[in-house]
Amino acid sequence: MSAFASLRETLAPWMRRAAAWRQRAVAWYEQRPPREQRLLAVAGALLAAAFVFLILIEPAWSTMTRARQELPGLRAQAATVADLTAQVRILRRQGAGTAAGAAPSATELAASLRREGLPDDSWSLSEAATSSGAQKTASSPAPATTLTLREASSAALFRWLDTAARDWRLSVSGADLARATHPTGRRLPGRMNGTLTLLPATQP
């Protein structure tokens, strides 16, 4: 309370002066003719509107305009970063001794599926069956991979397929997909069941 009282004592002279100035302004305004009073009221309203615009509206408006102008550039930068990230992934794989046309490991595929938002319970990976009697040799092409889907997000799946084609040059050699359904028979929007057979790019 002592600090508040001290503040009041400090401001008291200024408050008295402000009250006196206000009284003089009111008295002067009341002495003006009605037409002049209306003009003064309009001028005051315009000054108040200008103050509100300059202090509250104009900074926000300028920020929104600048953001709209910078948005195309930011999108282009994001696309460039995505391309560079894909190139870095490929270079890392090549630097680790992985052939450009070799198939990614199951661990790499699983990690990429999770990154694109596909939970573990919505997919499984397995090596596609080969023809009977076929024997693997050092020169044999990498085997195909079967991706089994269970109520997987179609948006996340197509995102992952785009990434896999860009990073590992995987292609879809077979697909058996259907809309996922609820046990009651109702279709689940944006969800898919089925299998995809994936093949790595052939060696040049």
Give the DSSP letter string of the chain: -HHHHHHHHHHHHHHHHHHHHHHHHHHHHHTS-HHHHHHHHHHHHHHHHHHHIIIIIHHHHHHHHHHHHHHHHHHHHHHHHHHHHHHHHHHHHHHTT--TTSPPPHHHHHHHHHHTT--GGGEEEEEPPPPTT----TTSPPPPEEEEEEEEEHHHHHHHHHHHHHHH--EEEEEEEEEEE-TTS-EEEEEEEEEEEEEPPPP-
Confidence of residue 87 (pLDDT cuts 50, 70, 90): low
Least confident of 24-38, 76-90, 141-155, 179-193: 76-90
The model's pLDDT over 142-191, given as tens digits with 9 standing for 90+, comes to 678 899 999 999 899 999 998 888 888 888 888 898 888 888 888 888 89
pLDDT score for 163: 87
pTM exceeds 0.75: no
